[in-house]
Chain A
């Protein structure tokens, strides 16, 4: 049941590039990454793409397929019509190194800015006791495969280079929430989430949650609760609305 598909793939390096057209064979059960690999093997051996696991576990193959951030290895060809032209471009928020490969060092920089897990002094390895129910919240966030698609899609930094220094992005704001909810972490992370890592910039549009391939409820389970902790009161939509407007005006100031 093979057919020939039309692909447009972004090719280029050093800040320049263009979409290149390809016609390429597609077989039953294949995913977009398979097709990119077929292009490498048959038509464009130097076409650059990142990948490792081919099973949605490593978060390497993030790309934009028809404008939507997706994992190439988890996007089935059967989700497209056979006569559809499929456009594959690199993640937009990060500088392109070559073709589909982007410079994601922003994310590693941000990771290093979040203070690490800090257990109470005196608890020895082997002495930790935690209930399943108490670790589950942080465990959800630890499912993150660091595909960085949430950071890629978040409007605070997508097309807003100027916000990058002050904003850790959903991935790392979620990391703060994860540590904050860790039963043994002793650091108070609320002020720094707001002041150092830009939690206030997030206006809970949920775009990050929508693209997360691990289906982590980034906004509902990490960002909103973190915001609640920051304002130190229970979530109430009306209060939140006021809050949001307040924060917007503050964030434009900062």
Chain B
């Protein structure tokens, strides 16, 4: 059958915040740009983000600035972050948020008419620009409408709204194409299929931006949707690029636990930011028992002080419910394990005794709605039951901070699919701003790369034939139901490479994944090519399995506990390990994963000087500390 072909300068895979911002940038720089996404335009995961976008605008507390934001981000990530990314992010986030406003976004306001900002875990000052608890919706709609505005401009100028930017919706990319098989061979395009009719499509393009989001669908309990099958992570690996930090997965402390069918659906951190507290079955605010040493000085030690903080932040410390997510998730996990959980296996999150009902419905309308509709719980009258849920992957494609370029020429990555920015743990609100900052940089990076090319890289026809055969295979087989393999993988990852990990369990998981890989080769899809979810899932399995293997192999290798990686058998945080990144690559035939250690470059002098010696001492080696002392003396 004919393969539909298109030529573009830049192909952006993903239409969430990162992808749309990248595409807008590429188009604004005059590049012919395609946006490809698996769902309808405007439905990407970003739409679900609730709490807000972190940007040190200083609208609510004028003491806030990029340096404070930078420090918070590094602390949240336990100093494993790519500091250059954290720096760019903290510096550029305000401009990116203001730009949205100029494109029509309507954020909630302060009394003096500026963008209002709310408190969130790990952020020293109120910092999250938000719209109630539907910030992601506002963001994606604004970017979507910006794309439409550019199309209207093009229609006026060129008579064709799709002359410079076109959305290919419900279209899944299954392979990146290159000029050859070597890791240094450049990108020449992408291959995929239309979900709607199963026809194949080929993009001939010198630059590809990956903005495919996360991997949560490899877990049973997750806040992520079906789209999160780690496609971009796998596409990058198969194209010869590297992934870093794959062992770090954020389990959000508060997912719904009941009813079973909604288990994992997110309960926004804004509930705690706005005053909600966590209690165990004995009614105790247990988070006071879990303040780790590194954060001792920054959190309230009594309920009274914690409560005063909401109104007087200058003279009180914040309540420990607002510790970074990894800490809160582990604490909930321990309480439940110790038998102090709620009847449905979570803990209580209560805002009903903390705020007047009208205030709750004003500030948290979609949470109110969600609990009422899905769980018959009125959050203005009773506590919610919550527990940890697989939420976000810190790991992703290794990129250059400034240009978002991956190691393969012509390949770029931004948003959740990229790695480094958040280190071992992401702060709430730092993703939405990350999407904007690095989405824009990826669009600019890709445009600059295209400008610098002498000739368009040519798609190798052999790779097209291989990609086509690979995509057809499940339809041509009469094999196992792909849903079974998927469920087995989800259970394996949830139970064996979840919040708390240990060597023998991870080893078991790796053995299980190996077996599942064999089974995946035999899955079949009944039915035809038109909108066939069984076939789509069969193709997604390759990606989920590859990515799960990365997570497990890296998790086995890192013998310490840090952020989104907790090893029962290595409970301490090790300064030696802080200097090491684990880099995953695919074996030559793409069927398995390799993991290598790499040294993390030290922080630039002016940036490390933003921290106190006492704080650094908790994270860095003696050798690094000596270098710091010498630096400060100069």
| Binding partners A and B | yes
Residues of A within 8 A of B (CB): 13-14, 27-31, 34, 40-41, 45-60, 74, 76, 97-99, 101, 104, 108, 111-112, 115-117, 119, 123-126, 128-132, 135, 138-139, 142-146, 179, 182, 185
Residues of B within 8 A of A132 (CB): 108-109, 116
Task: Quote the shortest CB–CB distance from B210 to chain A (angstroms).
Answer: 19
Q: Is B373 an interface residue (CB 8 A)?
A: yes
User: Complex formed: what's the CA distance from A135 to B132 in Å?
Assistant: 12
Those of B90-120 within 8 Å (CB) of chain A: 94-95, 98-99, 101-104, 106, 108-109, 112-114, 116
Residues of B within 8 A of A123 (CB): 102
Q: Is B525 an interface residue (CB 8 A)?
A: yes
Residues of A within 8 A of B151 (CB): 112
Asked whether A40 lies within 8 Å of B101 as measured between CB atoms, the reply is no
Q: 16 A-B contacts, Cβ less than 8 Å apart?
A: A13-B531, A30-B261, A40-B534, A45-B481, A52-B47, A52-B227, A53-B47, A56-B373, A57-B47, A125-B98, A125-B101, A126-B94, A126-B95, A131-B109, A139-B132, A143-B134
Task: Quote the shortest CB–CB distance from B227 to chain A (angstroms).
Answer: 7
User: Complex formed: what's the CA distance from A56 to B159 in Å?
Assistant: 37
Task: Quote the shortest CB–CB distance from A180 to chain B (angstroms).
Answer: 13
Residues of A within 8 A of B149 (CB): 116-117
Asked whether A34 lies within 8 Å of B261 as measured between CB atoms, the reply is yes
Residues of A within 8 A of B141 (CB): 142, 144
A98 touching B106 in the complex, CB below 8 Å, given contacts A29-B375, A54-B265? no
Shortest beta-carbon contacts, A-B, top 10 = A29-B259, A46-B527, A45-B534, A117-B104, A129-B113, A116-B149, A125-B98, A48-B531, A126-B98, A98-B531
Asked whether A146 lies within 8 Å of B225 as measured between CB atoms, the reply is no
Q: Is B572 an interface residue (CB 8 A)?
A: no
User: Complex formed: what's the CA distance from A128 to B114 in Å?
Assistant: 7
- Nearest A residue to B46 by beta-carbon distance? A58
Those of B123-152 within 8 Å (CB) of chain A: 131-132, 134, 137-138, 141, 145, 148-149, 151-152
Asked whether A138 lies within 8 Å of B106 as measured between CB atoms, the reply is yes
User: Complex formed: what's the CA distance from A108 to B131 in Å?
Assistant: 24
Asked whether B533 lies within 8 Å of A53 as measured between CB atoms, the reply is no
Asked whether B527 lies within 8 Å of A51 as measured between CB atoms, the reply is no
Asked whether B137 lies within 8 Å of A45 as measured between CB atoms, the reply is no
Of B131, B152, B532, which one neighbours A46 at CB under 8 angstroms?
B532
Residues of A within 8 A of B439 (CB): none
Asked whether B373 lies within 8 Å of A139 as measured between CB atoms, the reply is no
Q: Is B260 an interface residue (CB 8 A)?
A: yes
User: Complex formed: what's the CA distance from A138 to B43 in Å?
Assistant: 21
Of A46, A111, A128, A144, which one neighbours B534 at CB under 8 angstroms?
A46
User: Complex formed: what's the CA distance from A143 to B132 in Å?
Assistant: 10
Task: Quote the shortest CB–CB distance from A228 to chain B (angstroms).
Answer: 22
Asked whether A28 lies within 8 Å of B95 as measured between CB atoms, the reply is no
A27 touching B152 in the complex, CB below 8 Å, given contacts A55-B48, A139-B131? no
User: Complex formed: what's the CA distance from A29 to B257 in Å?
Assistant: 11
Those of B371-387 within 8 Å (CB) of chain A: 373-375
Overall SS of chain A's interface: loop
Asked whether B40 lies within 8 Å of A50 as measured between CB atoms, the reply is yes
Most-contacted residue by chain A among B48, B95, B225, B533 (CB, 10 A): B533
Residues of B within 8 A of A41 (CB): 481, 483, 487
Residues of B within 8 A of A99 (CB): 531
Of A57, A97, A142, which one neighbours B196 at CB under 8 angstroms?
A97
Q: How many B residues touch A, CB cutoff 8 Å? A: 66
Most-contacted residue by chain B among A49, A58, A139 (CB, 10 A): A58
Asked whether B113 lies within 8 Å of A131 as measured between CB atoms, the reply is yes
Asked whether A54 lies within 8 Å of B534 as measured between CB atoms, the reply is no
Those of B29-45 within 8 Å (CB) of chain A: 39-43, 45
Question: Can you list, as one digit per residue, whether each of B43-56 has a CB less than 8 Å from chain A (1) or not (0)?
Answer: 10101100000000
User: Complex formed: what's the CA distance from A28 to B112 in Å?
Assistant: 48
Those of B165-210 within 8 Å (CB) of chain A: 196
Residues of A within 8 A of B481 (CB): 41, 45
Q: Is B164 an interface residue (CB 8 A)?
A: no
- Nearest A residue to B365 by beta-carbon distance? A143
Residues of B within 8 A of A30 (CB): 259-261
Asked whether A116 lies within 8 Å of B483 as measured between CB atoms, the reply is no
User: Complex formed: what's the CA distance from A74 to B530 in Å?
Assistant: 27
Q: Is B450 an interface residue (CB 8 A)?
A: no
Most-contacted residue by chain A among B114, B370, B374 (CB, 10 A): B374
Residues of A within 8 A of B138 (CB): 142
Of A29, A135, A146, which one neighbours B106 at CB under 8 angstroms?
A135
Asked whether A130 lies within 8 Å of B113 as measured between CB atoms, the reply is yes
Asked whether A55 lies within 8 Å of B374 as measured between CB atoms, the reply is yes
Question: Can you list, as one digit per residue, whether each of B476-495 has a CB less than 8 Å from chain A (1) or not (0)?
Answer: 00000111000100000000
Of B145, B373, B375, B533, which one neighbours A40 at CB under 8 angstroms?
B533
User: Complex formed: what's the CA distance from A50 to B37 in Å?
Assistant: 14
User: Complex formed: what's the CA distance from A94 to B187 in Å?
Assistant: 39
Asked whether B533 lies within 8 Å of A98 as measured between CB atoms, the reply is no
Most-contacted residue by chain A among B227, B260, B487, B531 (CB, 10 A): B531
A182 touching B102 in the complex, CB below 8 Å, given contacts A112-B161, A116-B149, A129-B114? no
Residues of B within 8 A of A54 (CB): 225, 262, 265
A13 touching B101 in the complex, CB below 8 Å, given contacts A50-B40, A52-B43, A55-B374? no
Of A111, A116, A129, A143, which one neighbours B112 at CB under 8 angstroms?
A129
Residues of B within 8 A of A143 (CB): 134, 137
Question: Can you list, as one digit per residue, whether each of B521-544 has a CB less than 8 Å from chain A (1) or not (0)?
Answer: 000011110111111000000000
Q: Is B281 an interface residue (CB 8 A)?
A: no
Asked whether B152 lies within 8 Å of A112 as measured between CB atoms, the reply is yes
User: Complex formed: what's the CA distance from A98 to B529 in Å?
Assistant: 11
Asked whether A182 lies within 8 Å of B48 as measured between CB atoms, the reply is no
Q: Is B226 an interface residue (CB 8 A)?
A: yes
Asked whether A117 lies within 8 Å of B103 as measured between CB atoms, the reply is yes
User: Complex formed: what's the CA distance from A130 to B487 in Å?
Assistant: 49
A31 touching B226 in the complex, CB below 8 Å, given contacts A57-B48, A111-B148? no
Of A101, A108, A111, which one neighbours B531 at CB under 8 angstroms?
A101
Q: Is B366 an interface residue (CB 8 A)?
A: yes
Asked whether A55 lies within 8 Å of B262 as measured between CB atoms, the reply is yes
- Nearest A residue to B116 by beta-carbon distance? A132
Q: Is B369 an interface residue (CB 8 A)?
A: yes
Asked whether B525 lies within 8 Å of A56 as measured between CB atoms, the reply is no
- Nearest B residue to A27 by beta-carbon distance? B260
Residues of A within 8 A of B248 (CB): none
User: Complex formed: what's the CA distance from A71 to B225 in Å?
Assistant: 16
Q: Is B258 an interface residue (CB 8 A)?
A: yes
A74 touching B374 in the complex, CB below 8 Å, given contacts A46-B528, A60-B39, A125-B101? yes
Task: Quote the shortest CB–CB distance from B62 to chain A (angstroms).
Answer: 15
Residues of A within 8 A of B40 (CB): 50, 60, 104
- Nearest A residue to B38 by beta-carbon distance? A52
Task: Quote the shortest CB–CB distance from B232 to chain A (angstroms).
Answer: 17
User: Complex formed: what's the CA distance from A159 to B41 in Å?
Assistant: 26
Residues of A within 8 A of B45 (CB): 52
Task: Quote the shortest CB–CB distance from B305 to chain A (angstroms).
Answer: 30
Of B42, B99, B534, B535, which one neighbours A146 at CB under 8 angstroms?
B42
Of A27, A111, A119, which one neighbours B102 at CB under 8 angstroms?
A119
Of A74, A112, A125, which one neighbours B95 at CB under 8 angstroms?
A125
Residues of B within 8 A of A28 (CB): 259-260
Most-contacted residue by chain A among B106, B112, B131 (CB, 10 A): B106
Asked whether B533 lies within 8 Å of A116 as measured between CB atoms, the reply is no
- Nearest B residue to A119 by beta-carbon distance? B102
A97 touching B531 in the complex, CB below 8 Å, given contacts A52-B226, A57-B134, A108-B41? yes
Residues of B within 8 A of A129 (CB): 112-114
